[in-house]
Every structure is written in C-alpha cells, then in structure tokens.
C-alpha cells in the first residue's frame, strides 16, 4: 500500500485512508468493517465526529474475524477544542481510546488551534463549538501548553505520532520553537478550490507530512447545506475532461491530483462501491499539465472556516 514515512517514528502512514466525519452512528461499525474488507487500513476519526465507539466496534469485528491485526491499522483521532488545557489532554485521549477499544492511537492531532472552555465529557460529548447557552466561550490556554501535553501522550504510549490540523505556517513555526517532538502530520483542507501551495512548500521544507481533507471540495458540505453554491468539483468540466482522458472517475482524478503531489487523502463515503472506487486512485499518473490545469481552479476558498461560527475564531485571517 502506498504510504508516507513519518519523521521521528519512521511509521508508514497510508496515502489513502477513510474519513469518518458524517458517517452515521447506525452505519459506522458496518462501514468500517466493510472498508477494512475492501483494503482500507487508515481511519480518520475525531472526538467531534461522535462515532468513535461505533468505529471501534467495526475494527474489533475485523480483528476478531482475522481480517487484520491491530498493527496493520493506522488509527487517527483528534483532540477537541475544549480539552486544550494540560490536565485535559490526557484525560480526553484516555476517554477516546476507551471509546475505540484501543490501547494507542497511531496519530493524534490537535483538531483546531482554538482553545474553548472545558466541558466535562460526562455532561456532553462531543461538546461542539458552543456552551449550554449556545455561545462560543474562549479559554486562555496558550498553544505551547497543549503541545507539551500532546508530547506527554507520546511519552506515555497513548499515541505514536502527533500533529496538528487546520493550521497555518505561522503556527507550525511557533511550535518548532519549543517542540521536543515536531508535528509529524498537518491535516488541512486542501482541494482544487484551495490549493495552499505556500503551506505545502513549508511543510515539505520542515519534513511534515500533509493530509488533505475535503478532497472533493464542496461535495462533502452539500449534506450540511454549507457548500456555498459552488460548482461541484466532480461536475467541473476541467475535472470531468481529465477523468474521461484517463478513463477514471472525477473522484479518482481529484484524489490522484492530491496524492501525486505527495499528499495523503482521507475521502469519506457511505457507499460500498464509492469507497472501493476511492481506494483505487493511485495506480495511474496524471500528466503534469493536467495537474496544473486542475490546480488553476484555485480560489483560495475555505469551506471549513470557524470565523463563520464566531468572528473571534478567525484563525485563517
Ligand atoms: N481536520 C478537520 O477539521 C477535518 C474537516 C473536515 C473533514 N475532515 C476529514 O476528512 C474526511 C473527508 O472530508 P469530507 O467528509 O469533507 O468530504 P470528502 O471526502 O471530500 O467528500 C465526501 C462527499 O463526497 C461523496 N463521495 C465520496 N466518494 C465519492 C465518489 N467516489 N463519487 C461521488 N461522490 C463521492 C460522499 O457521498 P457518499 O457518502 O454518499 O458517497 C460525500 O458526500 C472527513 O470524513 C474527515 O475524516 C477533517
């Protein structure tokens, strides 16, 4: 399986994984089991997705059925914004590991560089963006405190690798000033409407692997009514014409556009045929000119921008 070797641990992170956001609780265990049967080895979860227990059930079934061993899998999860204080990072990692039924994560990411007021998981989990009053409550935890606690998770064997998500270059540079363990992975929104070349160049320079999320652009946001009425990338003539040229689907072309640039991808699909189609996206090569043509669709357009929830959360400003 095509993979990226992560710095420090030299662990191989599969280039194509399965994204668990918006996979329903009812279908999640079956979907994970079927995805493992189809050949997926990386699952991208998060406390915020609210389906970690069900994802873990699917994994357990696959291990019990002899399809895989734990060490064959690469499980990613994420620390939510309300757990950035040093005392809460480990508490949450242990809580989430219990939900998954796992002893360790392969990768644990800070979901957003945003610290929000603590919500006890016994009160509400996942806590979401707002308090009981429906308002956003910031908390003054500096990122260094959170990162140092993330490093503690590595020392204690709760995760093998750590990283960040929804980050910009300035945060990466800041972390390097105090990190004992440099972030191994940065997971960011990246698709032809948001190509982020300068960020990729910095990550390459620093040896930080990049995972692109929302590879299909607005497609994954349609079901939330948050697609901003954009032309769907899978229907864009620039993408469909390249797809016909190679005899591939638009989805496969969008994923190959990313993986050929050295990015890992984590497409989500609730359909058994589409999840197979998505996994089968590294066995062909796009010509440079086709990659450039698709990149020219860039609009620097973000679908996942917390500033739209509250202007105090404008991390990309
Ligand atoms: N770190 C973060 O803050 C963050 C934010 C967003 C996402 N993520 C991660 O990235 C993953 C993927 O991103 P995403 O959920 O935004 O969406 P995505 O994978 O870009 O797109 C998913 C959408 O595309 C459809 N689809 C999937 N495969 C298809 C195919 N072959 N042909 C046609 N349509 C297809 C899906 O519908 P069906 O299900 O019906 O197939 C769904 O509507 C998430 O699940 C999550 O793990 C991380």
42-44 and 185-189 as β-strands: parallel, antiparallel, unpaired?
Answer: unpaired
Mutate to test the pocket of ligand 1, among 111, 186, 220, 222 (most ligand atoms within 8 A of CB): 220
Token representation of residue 88: 């809460």
Token representation of residue 165: 């998500």
Which ligand 1 atom is the nearest neighbour of the CA of 188? 1
- 111 among annotated binding-site residues: yes
88 Cβ neighbours under 8 A, 6+ residues apart: 82, 118
Mutate to test the pocket of ligand 1, among 188, 196, 268, 278 (most ligand atoms within 8 A of CB): 268
Which ligand 1 atom is the nearest neighbour of the CA of 217? 20
Please report the sign of the dihedral spanned by the C-alpha atoms of residue 127, residue 130, residue 131, residue 137.
positive
- Tell me the C-alpha distance between 114 and 117, whole Å: 10
- Say what the pLDDT of residue 225 is: 87
Residue nearest to atom 11 of ligand 1 (CA): 19
Q: Which residues are catalytic?
A: 49
- Report residues whose beta carbon is within 6 angstroms of any ligand 1 atom: 19-22, 44, 111, 165-166, 187, 213-216, 219-220, 223, 234, 249, 251, 266-271, 274, 277-278, 304
3-state SS, residue 265: strand
- Tell me the C-alpha distance between 313 and 307, whole Å: 5
Report mean pLDDT in 10-residue bins for the chain, 317 residues.
Answer: 96 98 97 97 98 98 98 98 98 98 98 98 97 97 98 98 98 98 98 98 98 96 88 96 98 98 97 95 96 98 96 97
CATH number of this structure's domain 3-313, picked from the four choices 3.40.50.450, 3.20.20.100, 3.40.50.620, 3.50.50.60: 3.20.20.100
Ligand 1: centre distance to CA 49 (Å)? 13
Which ligand 1 atom is the nearest neighbour of the CA of 20? 45
Ligand 1: centre distance to CA 267 (Å)? 5
- Tell me the C-alpha distance between 263 and 248, whole Å: 19
């Amino acid at each position: 399986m095509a993979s990226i070797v992560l710095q420090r641990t030299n662990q191989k992170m599969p280039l194509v994984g399965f994204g668990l956001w918006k996979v329903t609780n009812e279908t999640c265990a079956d979907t994970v089991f079927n995805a493992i049967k189809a050949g997926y080895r990386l699952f991208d979860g998060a406390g915020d997705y609210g389906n970690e227990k069900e994802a873990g059930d699917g994994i357990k079934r696959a291990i019990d059925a002899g399809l895989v061993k734990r060490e064959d899998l690469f499980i990613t999860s994420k620390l939510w914004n309300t757990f950035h204080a040093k005392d809460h990072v480990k508490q949450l990692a242990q809580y989430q590991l219990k939900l998954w039924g796992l002893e360790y994560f392969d990768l644990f990411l800070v979901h957003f560089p945003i610290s929000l007021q603590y919500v006890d998981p016994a009160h509400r989990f996942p806590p979401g963006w707002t308090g009981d009053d429906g308002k956003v409550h910031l908390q003054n935890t500096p990122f260094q405190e959170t990162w140092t606690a993330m490093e503690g998770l590595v020392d204690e064997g709760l995760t093998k690798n750590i990283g960040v998500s929804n980050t910009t270059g300035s945060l990466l540079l800041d972390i390097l000033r105090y990190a004992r363990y440099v972030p191994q992975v940065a997971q960011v929104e990246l698709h032809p409407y948001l190509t982020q070349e300068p960020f990729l160049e910095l990550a390459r320079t620093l040896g930080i692997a990049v995972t692109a999320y929302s590879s299909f652009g607005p497609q994954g946001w349609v079901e939330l009514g948050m697609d901003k009425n954009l032309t769907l990338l899978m229907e864009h003539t620039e993408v469909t014409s390249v797809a016909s040229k190679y005899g591939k689907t638009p989805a496969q072309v969008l994923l190959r556009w990313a993986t050929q640039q050295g990015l890992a991808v984590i497409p989500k699909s609730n359909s058994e045929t589409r999840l197979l189609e998505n996994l089968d996206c590294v066995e062909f090569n796009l010509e440079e000119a086709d990659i450039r043509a698709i990149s020219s669709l860039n609009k620097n357009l973000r679908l996942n921008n917390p500033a739209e929830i509250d202007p105090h959360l404008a991390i990309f400003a």
